[in-house]
Amino acid sequence: MVDCGITFEQANEDHRGRPSIQMPDPSFISSQRDQLDGLVVTHAHEDHFGAIPYLWQELRCPVYATPFAAAVLRKKAAWRGAPPPEPLIEVLPGETHTIGSFDVTWLPITHSTPETCALLLESQGTRILHTADWKIDARPVIGTPWSPDTWTALAAKGIDAVICDSTNATTPGRSPTEGEVGDALVKLVTSLKGRVVVACFASNVARVQSIFRAAHVSERRVGLLGRSLDIMVRSAKHSGVFEPQVPIIDAEHLGYLPENEVLAVATGTQGEVGAALHRLMMDTHPHLSLGEGDTVIFSSKTIPGNEESVHRLIEGLKDRGVSVTHADDVVTTLHASGHPCQDELRELYETLKPRLSIPVHGEKRHLQANADIARSSGVPLTFTGNNGDLFYLSPSPGVRRKWAPVGRLQVDERARKLERIAT
């Protein structure tokens, strides 16, 4: 089993008015868990590992993760009051482990969180590449740059199928590098007076590293605002993937520093009620208050569906006299996606020359766009499908539609249980 994630649904709010936490119903797997040899976590993003603290008791199999992902998983499990998986086996990028009848190799790949790995799955002469989330990044800030030689060497041995991320398959060109974003943040922060708050996705440790570089250059001190951000940064320090250029100060001290020495990193880029940015906008944050002369930088994109909440957040900050710069609204590269655009997908397919492509991780239009790129890049066969479809990969590829029963579970925090919901 590869990954086990959650999503946040605005349409089903919990009793506190927050988006509900939902995840796939794994009943068709847990009902035959005696055949489940292991669960492999490709990287530390909630939509890839966030359901494990809720569902591991049903699955009860070994979990494999890199040191950073394992550290985050342990902290997330503790935060939710759940025991961590047992055993939780730490795997270094580049290693190969035998899991049941599969030889699994963790291949370092560039993405927007540390130690992301694609998976090479080998069994009985069949070789399958699961890309996980990825992009081509020559300047990733954290981790090794994209290495074409790695994928050329894989292609020389033959790839039967590629299971490939489709998130940006409708976007032309290439995604910017994290290095470009870092340079832009340094230039912008050093030009500002007053307090500065940079908002980003908590899991993007490379972005946090760039923010610390900006603080070093502009002689500011850095505090972290947000529980998820604190978990990610502590996990990254513990696993050795993040070394801040300036000390992290306790957030409670930010309010006592001279204004031009303050740089805070904050969560809540999507306007989430109760997140650090929302509390700053409402002037209810216990450690920092913003006003005239201060600046908030959104080093993030607005996820479709969140436009209204982000707009309210920005307008609320402006009403307090705060200057706001959002990556969506400026030419400067203040955000970079962690997913491949069309030219990157094309390069991967032309390098690997797989016999079969299975686009995943996106809506129907993204999957179809990915399949079109694969075919135009010389891949002879592509399959797209829906949740519950069974794909035969080798030796005779095919699809059985609606093979497995599927559905969703939703977290009921008051009853501390999961409930099945109609989908």
Residue numbers of the domain that contains 360: 7-172+337-421
Residue identified by tokens 């981790």 is: 143
DSSP structure string for 286-324: SS----TT-EEEE-SPPPTT-HHHHHHHHHHHHHTT-EE
Domain for residue 374, yes or no?
Answer: yes
Domain for residue 112, yes or no?
Answer: yes
If asked whether residues 86 and 140 sit together in one domain, one would say: yes
If asked whether residues 216 and 125 sit together in one domain, one would say: no
Residue identified by tokens 């199928």 is: 161
If asked whether residues 135 and 66 sit together in one domain, one would say: yes
Q: What is the pLDDT of residue 80?
A: 81
Helix, strand or coil, per DSSP, at residue 229: helix
If asked whether residues 131 and 223 sit together in one domain, one would say: no
Instruction: Check pLDDT > 60 for residue 227.
Output: yes
Q: What is the pTM of this model?
A: 0.93
Instruction: Check pLDDT > 60 for residue 107.
Output: yes
Q: What value does the mean pLDDT take over residues 74-85? A: 88
Q: What is the pLDDT of residue 415?
A: 58
Last residue within a domain, chosen from 296, 311, 329 = 329
Q: What value does the mean pLDDT take over residues 342-356? A: 97
If asked whether residues 13 and 151 sit together in one domain, one would say: yes
Last residue within a domain, chosen from 279, 302, 329 = 329
If asked whether residues 321 and 364 sit together in one domain, one would say: no
Last residue within a domain, chosen from 279, 297, 329 = 329
Instruction: Check pLDDT > 60 for residue 15.
Output: no
Instruction: Check pLDDT > 70 for residue 271.
Output: yes
Structure tokens at 60: 């009860």
Task: Determine which of 43-47, 185-189, 365-369, 418-422 has the lowest per-residue pLDDT on average.
Answer: 418-422
Q: How many CB atoms lie within 10 A of CB 262?
A: 24
H-helix segments, 80-161: 148-157
Domain for residue 186, yes or no?
Answer: yes
Separation of alpha carbons 186 and 67, rounded Å: 29
Instruction: Check pLDDT > 80 for residue 347.
Output: yes
If asked whether residues 18 and 164 sit together in one domain, one would say: yes
Q: What is the pLDDT of residue 81?
A: 82
Domain for residue 2, yes or no?
Answer: no
Structure tokens at 338: 């962690």
Q: What is the pLDDT of residue 16?
A: 58
- For residues 327 and 299, the answer to whether their CB atoms sit within 8 Å is yes
Q: What value does the mean pLDDT take over residues 6-12? A: 74
CATH code: domain of residue 257:
3.40.50.10710
Instruction: Check pLDDT > 60 for residue 420.
Output: yes
Domain for residue 68, yes or no?
Answer: yes
If asked whether residues 282 and 212 sit together in one domain, one would say: yes
CATH code: domain of residue 118:
3.60.15.10
If asked whether residues 349 and 222 sit together in one domain, one would say: no
Question: Maximum distance among all alpha carbons in the chain?
Answer: 68
Name 147's Cβ contacts closer than 8 Å, sequence gap at least 6: none
Number of domains in the chain: 2
Q: What value does the mean pLDDT take over residues 344-349? A: 98
By DSSP bridging, strand 88-90 and strand 63-65 are parallel
Q: What value does the mean pLDDT take over residues 38-53? A: 95
Domain for residue 1, yes or no?
Answer: no
Q: What is the pLDDT of residue 423?
A: 61
Domain for residue 321, yes or no?
Answer: yes
Instruction: Check pLDDT > 60 for residue 105.
Output: yes
Q: What value does the mean pLDDT take over residues 61-82? A: 93
Residue 43 CA to its chain's centroid (Å): 7
**Quick one: pLDDT band at residue 418, thresholds 50, 70, 90?**
confident
If asked whether residues 228 and 193 sit together in one domain, one would say: yes
If asked whether residues 72 and 128 sit together in one domain, one would say: yes
If asked whether residues 36 and 118 sit together in one domain, one would say: yes
